[in-house]
């Protein structure tokens, strides 16, 4: 198990802005990686209602399960490595592997056996170091939708916010209200179901 505080700033991009930033930062197509997030919650959205999220991420042949929970600043991420077989059981049969995340969910009164697979989101991701943080350009595909996003992951929220603001202003990218990926995924799922 690994825990860390995630502090990041986000902004949705238009496709043209995304393409512009790829060129501006000299990001080659071959350096863009593909990862897939598989999302889980109870049928009554117990995790979502606690402003938390559970995902299994696949990057190549590596799998990890991550629980995101609110923290004083940013989000507390708890991650445990899992096997391909455990990931397949979770996705195909909603049978999640035990461990630290199961224990944490029981502490917040979420019944682990009630977790269900909701679907996946595929992201084509480019990452680069930028002013002491990690700048991320994401092209995400999910539920017959696609979007583009700029993220900036940092250690210090005040310095990070300032650097992010300067970056957006420098390239004349308007500030846009940006939900995180799981929120966008759930909104699209809700639209499709109704």
Tell me which residue has tokens 């049969």: 93
Instruction: Summarize the confidence of residues 138-160 as an average pLDDT.
Output: 96
Contact 126, 27 (CB under 8 A): yes
pTM above 0.85, yes or no: yes
The pLDDT value given to residue 50: 94
Indicate the average pLDDT of the chain.
Answer: 95
Q: For the segment 40-54, what is each residue's pLDDT rounded down to a tens digit?
A: 999 999 999 999 999
Q: For the segment 58-101, what is each residue's pLDDT rounded down to a tens digit?
A: 988 999 999 999 999 889 999 999 999 999 999 999 999 999 99
Confidence tier at 19 by pLDDT (50, 70, 90): very high
- Indicate the SS3 state at residue 94: coil
Contact 123, 32 (CB under 8 A): no
Contacts of 17 (CB under 8 A, 6+ apart): 148, 150, 171, 173
Domain limits at 145?
2-193
* Domain CATH code at residue 83: 2.40.320.10
Confidence tier at 192 by pLDDT (50, 70, 90): confident
Contact 52, 71 (CB under 8 A): no
How many distinct structural domains can be found in the chain?
A: 1
Contact 83, 153 (CB under 8 A): no
Give the whole-angstrom CA distance, residue 101 versus residue 20. 39
């Amino acid at each position: 198990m690994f825990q860390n505080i995630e502090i990041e700033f986000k902004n949705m991009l238009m496709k043209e802005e995304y393409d512009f930033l790829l060129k501006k930062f000299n990001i080659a197509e071959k350096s863009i990686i593909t990862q897939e997030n598989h999302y889980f919650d109870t049928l009554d959205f117990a995790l979502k209602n606690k402003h938390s999220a559970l995902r299994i991420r696949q990057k190549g042949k590596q799998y990890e399960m991550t629980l995101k929970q609110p923290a004083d600043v940013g989000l507390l991420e708890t991650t445990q490595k899992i096997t391909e077989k455990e990931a397949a059981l979770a996705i195909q049969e909603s049978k999640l592997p035990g461990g630290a995340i199961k224990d944490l969910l029981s502490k917040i009164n979420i019944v682990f056996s009630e977790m269900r697979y909701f679907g996946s989101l595929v992201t084509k991701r480019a990452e680069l170091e930028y002013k002491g943080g990690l700048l991320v350009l994401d092209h995400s595909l999910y539920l017959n939708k696609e979007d583009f996003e700029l993220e900036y992951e940092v250690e210090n929220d005040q310095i990070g916010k300032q650097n992010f603001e300067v970056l957006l202003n420098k390239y004349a990218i308007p500030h846009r209200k940006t939900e995180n990926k799981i929120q966008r995924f759930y909104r699209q799922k809700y639209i499709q179901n109704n």
